[in-house]
Structure 1
Amino acid sequence: MTSRISGLGLSGIQKKVVEQHRRAFAAGTAMLPVGGFYRSRRSGEAHAFTGDLLHTLQEAVATDDYRLYRAYADGLKAMRPINLRDLLDFRSHGRPVPLEEVESITEIHKRFVTPGMSLGALSPEAHETLNIAMNRIGAKSDSGEGGEDPERYRPRPNGDNANSAIKQVASGRFGVTAEYLNNCREIEIKIAQGAKPGEGGQLPGFKVTPEIARLRHATPGVMLISPPPHHDIYSIEALAQLIYDLKQINPKARVGVKLVARTGIGTIAAGVAKANADVILVSGHVGGTGASPQTSIKFAGLPWEMGLSEVHQVLTLNRLRHRVKLRTDGGIKIGRDVVIAAMLGAEEFGIGTTSLIAMGCIMVRQCHSNTCPVGVCTQDKALRRKFTGTPEKVVNLFTFIAEDVRQILAGLGVRSLDEVVGRTDLLDQVSRGAEHLDDLDLNPLLALPDAGGFPTRCSLKDGMRNEVLETLDERIIRDARPLLEEGEKMQLTYDVHNTQRAIGTKLSHMITRKYGMTGLQPGHITVRLRGTAGQSLGAFAVQGLKLEVFGDANDYVGKGLSGGTIVVRPPMSSVLPSHANTIIGNTVLYGATGQAGERFAVRNSGASVVVEGCGACGCEYMTGGVAVILGPVGANFAAGMTGGLAFVYDSDGSFQHRVNGGTVLVRRLAAAHWKRVLRDLIVEHVRETQSMYAAHILLNWGREMNRFWQVVPLEMADRLSPPLSDSDETVTLRA
């Protein structure tokens, strides 16, 4: 696909080929250069951070010396061009204004974000230092996808607040519970990561400490996989449903969507804006903690300058720009970067790598190995003791950048960042960057779209968001006042239609706020529904809430289940066999009598689920909990499963052709303990659903028990207590 900004032409290609040939065959060439491609080396290719500038910045923030910061910023500007923004410069706008007339450092602080870096990728000390610093200055930190310790949700006795203002929901859904989502000002849906778009990720087992495992509802020492896609997002409509669900579980938080710069991102962003997102983050191809594959860091993704400008232009042309706040990140280091980003359309700015450097990172680029020598990106206790970062250093960094921004704005003759948002007319291309880039033209990035009289920046005021329609929960909450005010036990009954979505989610918000996520006993309030429930029935349902559906339900039943109970069964009048008819849709966490659709129990991390059959990709990427499938399964069962257990009833001998044996061990039941666990779950299933099919299995338990397979992740097989077998003689299935 042709680049929007052209770039390398035929004559440029010729120059590069001739240059490489000359270097390869030059006299005196003794050996290939060593290093410099990934880690910075004097003889290697140029990197955005040099060692001397890195240490200059660290000394500046440690001593609160703005003069040293200026030396660092001037040193970056003096380097040869590396980023697209290095080819741009400011155009004179008018006479400079006095610095005291420009908006304050405090106001500019509110626009800064430390991007999503998980507790797991970062050490606990580094993660909470960022949070404390950003909360002190009224800015925002992003939790990343690793969950967060509830201990952080309240300020500490000394006043420090270690709670992330932005809670991330990524494809792994690690630690995403009702309590987690109710302790933030913003929720971010991470579609992809700028440094490795479309790849997903993994946390090696040696970084999964007991603390990390507790927060992620996983097993210590067992690798955790974040799949490339969200399994409940395969269209803009599905994304809109997740946004709706999140706005139900937290009725005050804004919901943002993280995209990565790519060709066509403008069209995607327009769909995201129409899906009622409040913030869109355009992430560039650089940055990240260094744990991404080298091939991705070097060759995947696009600069944020290209993605941001396209998103701003398309949203403006489609009269959507005023509905969302635009944010960008990816290698932003100094005030000049911030002002250029604003002129290309951004209103908020993520600064990640530079904030790590302020805490002591020295860019050794081995974040994935758990051997960070300065304690920033490691879970090793000995190395963590070497961490020297403090909130004060991070505060100093963002204060310096804000002061830098103020000085640039004053020189341009404007008094606030709002005045330059989208003002690409204040930028000029001043360089092609290199001699061989004979066709590089940045004018497409600088085009001013026709706004048609609509605002060209977000018009949402502080505390406002794009609201969504209410659901049945509005009525349920009114009827449940005795529970919410006096703690009374209740049972409520309603007819339900498939247009009523996320039933039980907003009620779970109210319960969490009043009693906490585990403050009520199971079944404290029972909501009975007759008919067809819409999407996301019981999403993020908490302990104390029991939802009973006499009928069927659409996709996403029990998404993010947080301790609640969901039972779906055919109507009492139905004559259809439960095990032969699908009554719940795709991407389901909690089972029911009747079959489930595709991706049943995908990424389950703790729920106990029973279902009488499921479609493709059941128990995919599962990390915890127990799944019982009393019937046939679809293809690719247990792909990427690294935790939890599954029991599959194989009445026709087809399971060996459906299971993905890449990460699991499949065995017949051979331990009395696990036989009891399985039987007890089926007994409870029958009690809740009156399933004749499951009752038949129990009636003939001595025979039918032998048709079950027990599916265990390979890394879990030696960790189970009690073990898989009471003896050494066990039948194992080779998938």
Structure 2
Amino acid sequence: VESAASIVKRFKTGAMSFGSLSKEAHEALAIAMNRLGGKSNSGEGGEDPKRFVPDENGDDRRSAIKQIASGRFGVKSHYLVNADELQIKMAQGAKPGEGGQLPGNKVYPWVADVRGSTPGVGLISPPPHHDIYSIEDLAQLIHDLKNANRSARISVKLVSKAGVGTIAAGVAKGTADVIVISGYDGGTGASPKTSIKHTGLPWELGLAEAHQTLMLNGLRDRVVLETDGKLMTGRDVVMAALLGAEEFGFATAPLVVLGCVMMRACHLDTCPVGVATQNPELRKKFMGDPDHIVNYMLFVAEEVREYMAQLGFKTLDEMIGRTDVLHVSERAKAHWKAGQLDLSTLLYQPEGIRTFRTAQNHKIDESLDMTVILPAVQAAIEAGQEAETEIKINNTNRVAGTVTGSEISKRYGAEGLPDDTIRLHFTGSAGQSFGAFVPKGMTLHLNGDSNDYVGKGLSGGKIIVKAPDAFNCETHDNVIIGNVAFYGATNGEAYINGRAGERFAVRNSGVNVVVEGIGDHGCEYMTGGRVVVLGEVGKNFGAGMSGGIAYVLSEDAKAFKRKCNMEMISFEKLTDEAEIKEVQEMVKRHAALTNSKKAANLLDNWEKAAETFIKVIPKNYKQMLLSIEEQKAAGLSEEDAIMYAFEANTKVQQTPAKDQKQAVVQ
């Protein structure tokens, strides 16, 4: 029978994010799974780059699976290249239809730093990915991520539900390498009770449907099928394998092995055993050890071997999808309620290939990066020297610049190269995801226009989109880039010589961008960076915005207010001279790089123009900034001032409304 050492390589830890778990627990999971040859999942909270370098004793704290969820927390080029598998979380098994949630009292400064957000301000991932509204959009994100890390498998996490087989078939056609079917049971992190009651289905139902549907459509050999949802024992693994799974995720059990006592207080930051808390004092109580997880996983694998021996299987692959060895127990048939269940569809066994055989063709070798861009600048990247090239582009060229950017991230890490080292001048109409995940050191100058997702996940690079010189219309009235531009962008600059579509700068956490008008839902869930809008904005501006600042040119504040979601934001006039100068410099840079007539006119009458800018700033973000400045003025260091402000802010958040005034005074 296949060895335990071989079997555990198919084991994974479920997605448990940094922020939900303590640093010690999160790292223990990664160390244990790396020792076993399995994989740990970072969850959607990003990962500290220090963990990408092995420790002196040889331990590896890097999570082999990096998750990309709707919040895009910490999803940078450097994060993506340090993965063996990239997982798109379409939904969470325990609460399908909702995004991840992290209460403000758990967003400590070090968590906020990794996630690109504001300490003390709660984080909510949107229920949908804003770049996925169809199976074609999902295929695009799969392609984006494959460009960002050519050696990683691309995984898509789905929730067990009726009809998941049809969805899985679409995902397989979208060239995913791995499909995860996640059950309703298991970890729920810091979710409120309303999110986790009466939702989801057992993994057994979704797994059986997905496996059978893929087989019936001739797609099963293209993908690896995985399941999770409170797998605890070797018997659970064997059942999952017989129903069609090839890889297996564990979450609750490893946490219990690390010391979790199921207090159900993850959201309160009061975990008494230091597993699900960021509180430094409570983290000292953590007694878990990676060896405990190693032992547990090996025991599970040995139990799997015992079942395999009893069933007559020599390898795990032989067992995949063999529902013919399962039968309904006589005890169940005799039960007054269970006896009425018809499990024949669950146990149906189609004819055909039952396991992964053929790798997906992502067509990376045919991309503009591999055929034109990278050959032109490869030597310069390796030497760290400047390079400049001109490239013609059309809308069938997707994800331009991303493969080249990944080479910079692999070689130079998060720091990248000095600004403008690699300068790429494009002419034409770019396709989807132009400049996605481009790191520091790359500048993409497009003379033309582009489709959706420009600058998705921008990671320090610079993007300039300029109307052609022969363009005769007013650029500020012309839509020059599509929807969902700069979604999840983390760092860098961008200058857009025209209007952008809907959902501009959603979840921007650090990019400074100038644009001449945007559609609906601008700056949703934004947590950092600066956005200057030199024109009209659509409705629902600033919804869920918890950080960063937007400066919107508008002569009618009341009309603009009617377009905004005012729940978390407030308006101010530009009065601070330093801030006025900062906005002016951004507009000057925009004018110089794009030849924008709108920007030039504003600069010619700057004193009057500055009066028409409305500063949009989140309320909690402003409170945090003021508190930090007060403490720095009192003599505290930057780090101590941030920690003090965090503690003061979360104390107010946790205090009943009638006592908040007194709490602020204290």
TM over 0.5: yes
Find 1:391's aligned residue among 283, 287, 290: 290
Structure 2 residue 361 is matched with structure 1 residue 457: no
Which residue of the partner structure matches residue 642 of structure 1? 546
8 Å Cα contact 1:538/1:547 also seen in 2:
yes
Cα distance in 1 between the residues matched to 2:275 and 2:383: 47
8 Å Cα contact 1:586/1:597 also seen in 2:
yes
Which residue of the partner structure matches residue 178 of structure 2? 279
Which residue of the partner structure matches residue 708 of structure 1? 613
Identity of aligned residues (%): 52
Letter in 2 for 1:315: L
Which residue of the partner structure matches residue 527 of structure 1? 424
Structure 2 residue 333 is matched with structure 1 residue 473: no
Which residue of the partner structure matches residue 563 of structure 2? 658
8 Å Cα contact 2:101/2:191 also seen in 1:
no
Cα distance in 2 between the residues matched to 1:457 and 1:182: 28
Find 1:139's aligned residue among 38, 41, 59: 38
- Cα deviations across residues 683-708 of structure 1 (Å, max 9, x unaligned)? 11111111001111111111121111
- Cα deviations across residues 108-134 of structure 1 (Å, max 9, x unaligned)? 011100011000000000000000000
- Cα deviations across residues 350-385 of structure 1 (Å, max 9, x unaligned)? 010001000001111111110111110000111111
Which residue of the partner structure matches residue 89 of structure 2? 190
Letter in 1 for 2:520: A
How far is the alpha carbon of 1:214 from its aligned partner? 1.0
Structure 1 stretch displaced more, 695-704 or 339-348: 695-704
How far is the alpha carbon of 1:437 from its aligned partner? 4.6
Structure 2 residue 342 is matched with structure 1 residue 441: yes
Structure 2 residue 373 is matched with structure 1 residue 488: no
8 Å Cα contact 2:146/2:154 also seen in 1:
yes
In structure 2, relative to structure 1, the CA distance for the partners of 1:700 and 1:344 (3 Å cut) is: same
SS at match of 2:241: helix
After TM superposition, the structure 1 = structure 2 runs for residues 606-685 of structure 1, keeping only pairs within 5 Å, are 606-653=510-557, 654-685=559-590
Structure 1 runs not aligned, ≥5 long = 1-101, 725-735
TM-score w.r.t. structure 1 length? Answer: 0.82
SS at match of 2:345: helix
SS at match of 1:582: coil
8 Å Cα contact 2:495/2:594 also seen in 1:
no
8 Å Cα contact 2:14/2:249 also seen in 1:
yes
Letter in 1 for 2:588: V
Cα distance in 2 between the residues matched to 1:195 and 1:644: 31
- Cα deviations across residues 619-669 of structure 1 (Å, max 9, x unaligned)? 000011111111110111010001111111114553111110011112222
Which residue of the partner structure matches residue 552 of structure 1? 449
How far is the alpha carbon of 1:144 from its aligned partner? 0.3
Cα distance in 2 between the residues matched to 1:114 and 1:688: 47
Which residue of the partner structure matches residue 497 of structure 1? 394
After TM superposition, the structure 1 = structure 2 runs for residues 189-338 of structure 1, keeping only pairs within 5 Å, are 189-338=88-237
Cα distance in 1 between the residues matched to 2:459 and 2:482: 20
Letter in 2 for 1:508: G
Cα distance in 1 between the residues matched to 2:611 and 2:523: 21
Which residue of the partner structure matches residue 733 of structure 1? none
Larger Rg: 1
8 Å Cα contact 2:207/2:244 also seen in 1:
yes
8 Å Cα contact 1:206/1:370 also seen in 2:
yes
Which residue of the partner structure matches residue 312 of structure 2? 413
Cα distance in 1 between the residues matched to 2:361 and 2:347: 29
Cα distance in 2 between the residues matched to 1:111 and 1:719: 45
Cα distance in 2 between the residues matched to 1:120 and 1:562: 22
Cα distance in 2 between the residues matched to 1:434 and 1:221: 53
Structure 2 residue 269 is matched with structure 1 residue 365: no
SS at match of 2:414: coil
8 Å Cα contact 1:247/1:468 also seen in 2:
no
Letter in 2 for 1:313: Q
SS at match of 2:587: helix
Cα distance in 2 between the residues matched to 1:155 and 1:719: 35
Find 1:689's aligned residue among 594, 601, 605: 594
Letter in 1 for 2:354: T
Which residue of the partner structure matches residue 59 of structure 1? none
TM-score w.r.t. structure 2 length? Answer: 0.91
Cα distance in 2 between the residues matched to 1:403 and 1:613: 61
8 Å Cα contact 1:290/1:366 also seen in 2:
no
SS at match of 1:215: helix
Cα distance in 2 between the residues matched to 1:137 and 1:218: 34
- Cα deviations across residues 281-333 of structure 1 (Å, max 9, x unaligned)? 00000111442232443300111001000000100000000000000000110
Larger helix share, 1 or 2: 2
Structure 1 stretch displaced more, 585-594 or 551-560: 585-594
Letter in 1 for 2:485: V
Kindly report structure 1 stretches of 4+ aligned residues shifted beyond 4 Å.
721-724
8 Å Cα contact 1:190/1:259 also seen in 2:
yes
After TM superposition, the structure 1 = structure 2 runs for residues 579-590 of structure 1, keeping only pairs within 5 Å, are 579-589=476-486, 590=494
How far is the alpha carbon of 1:433 from its aligned partner? 9.5
Structure 2 residue 497 is matched with structure 1 residue 599: no
Cα distance in 1 between the residues matched to 2:50 and 2:519: 39
Cα distance in 2 between the residues matched to 1:688 and 1:123: 45
SS at match of 1:197: coil
Letter in 1 for 2:569: V
How far is the alpha carbon of 1:438 from its aligned partner? 5.3
Letter in 1 for 2:475: S
Which residue of the partner structure matches residue 17 of structure 2? 118
8 Å Cα contact 1:511/1:517 also seen in 2:
no
- Cα deviations across residues 183-239 of structure 1 (Å, max 9, x unaligned)? 010000000000110111321111111111111111211211211010001111001
8 Å Cα contact 1:121/1:377 also seen in 2:
yes
Find 1:570's aligned residue among 467, 470, 476: 467
In structure 2, relative to structure 1, the CA distance for the partners of 1:476 and 1:232 (3 Å cut) is: same
- Cα deviations across residues 69-103 of structure 1 (Å, max 9, x unaligned)? xxxxxxxxxxxxxxxxxxxxxxxxxxxxxxxxx00
8 Å Cα contact 1:286/1:297 also seen in 2:
no
Letter in 2 for 1:327: E
Which residue of the partner structure matches residue 539 of structure 1? 436
How far is the alpha carbon of 1:439 from its aligned partner? 2.5
Cα distance in 2 between the residues matched to 1:482 and 1:609: 30
Structure 2 residue 38 is matched with structure 1 residue 152: no
How far is the alpha carbon of 1:494 from its aligned partner? 1.1
Structure 2 residue 279 is matched with structure 1 residue 380: yes
Structure 1 stretch displaced more, 271-280 or 437-446: 437-446
Letter in 1 for 2:341: L
Structure 2 runs not aligned, ≥5 long = 487-493, 631-666
Cα distance in 2 between the residues matched to 1:616 and 1:707: 21
Letter in 1 for 2:384: G
In structure 2, relative to structure 1, the CA distance for the partners of 1:449 and 1:610 (3 Å cut) is: same
Cα distance in 2 between the residues matched to 1:294 and 1:438: 32
8 Å Cα contact 1:217/1:606 also seen in 2:
yes
- Cα RMSD over matched residues? 1.5
How far is the alpha carbon of 1:267 from its aligned partner? 0.7
